[in-house]
Amino acid sequence: MFQGSFPALITPFGDDFEIDFEAYGRLIDFHLENGTDGIVPCGCSGEAATLSHDEQKKLIRFAVERVAGKVPVVAGTGSNNTKEAVGLTRFAKEVGCDGALLITPYYNKPTAAGQIAHYTMVAEEAGIPIMLYNVPGRTGTKISPETIAALSKVPNIVSVKEACGSVDQVSQILGQCDINVMSGDDSLTLPMMVVGAKGVVSVAANVIPGIMSELCAAANAGDYDKARELHYKILPLTTALFFETNPMPVKAALAKMGMIKNTLRLPLVPMTDESASRLDPVLKDLGLI
């Protein structure tokens, strides 16, 4: 269903903390021009937690219209309120998204039975391909391989973004079902693809869309020598982009590249000068600044 590099698109804000749609359009064009395989607006990297539902809908609609069918758009529509998730996911379908990315309900900490009930209701009521998003470091709750295997039997639950930081998790999932797996950890993209993942929903692709797409294409073609070369080439960047909480470093990087203002909504703030100084040489080595 989904394959290659899908940037988890950041949301640019102006000095007034309102969405900068001009910069947003430039970012989408940058990805389309550099071989990105898909676009994911309104995920964690897009600061969805501090977007109103109206803003989220505007960003999703804008992305679909700007992409104009050139690549798949998989919109972040998750919530810890199942009714809200259903509404946002229905909207994503109505405006023409190719799929929806739904984070595991956070804070509530549902059991496996609750996770299955939540995702099944959204999938059945929204009627769009669903990508589960397993990121226990943010949600406090993990989706087990057994639960993912059970959810894969729901007809339109077709994929999972795996951000557990574990290649074993991917192996266990694919040992139990044939659901499409996308890495949710940039530095583990190649190891996860070696055991069967098809690509990545990527933070790093915000700044290096071409390289991430090339890495995924090489791995999917079985050219592991080339994929390994690219993996090590970008490893300093995939480390640097997590010096502080995502998306603080990637926004700093894009600002240094002249693409956005380094503005985040509270409670996130720009990364410290000390961390930013450590980011600079990594960006220079890749010719980004």
Q: Is the confidence at residue 246, as pLDDT, over 90?
A: yes
What pLDDT, on the 0 to 100 scale, is given for residue 199?
98
Residue 83 catalytic?
no
Mean pLDDT confidence for 134-160: 96
Q: From residue 50, give the alpha-carbon distance in Å to each of 42, 53, 56, 211.
A: 10, 10, 10, 30
Name the residue ranges covered by the structural domains of the chain. 4-209
Residue 57 catalytic?
no
Q: What is the pLDDT of residues 201-239, one digit of tens each?
A: 999 999 999 999 999 999 999 999 999 999 999 999 999
Amino acid type, 110: P
List 57, 119, 161, 256, catalytic entry: 161
Q: Is the confidence at residue 271, as pLDDT, over 90?
A: yes
List 24, 57, 119, 133, catalytic entry: 133
What pLDDT, on the 0 to 100 scale, is given for residue 254?
98
What pLDDT, on the 0 to 100 scale, is given for residue 207?
98
Q: How far apart are CA 238 and CA 202, in angstroms?
A: 10
Angle at 137 between CA 162 and CA 98, to 5 degrees: 40
What pLDDT, on the 0 to 100 scale, is given for residue 1?
74
Q: What is the pLDDT of residues 52-64, one digit of tens each?
A: 999 999 999 999 9
Q: Is the confidence at residue 112, as pLDDT, over 80?
A: yes
Q: What is the pLDDT of residues 85-108, one digit of tens each?
A: 999 999 999 999 999 999 999 999
What is 4-209's CATH superfamily?
A: Aldolase class I (3.20.20.70)
Contact present, 105 and 73 (Cβ < 8 Å): no
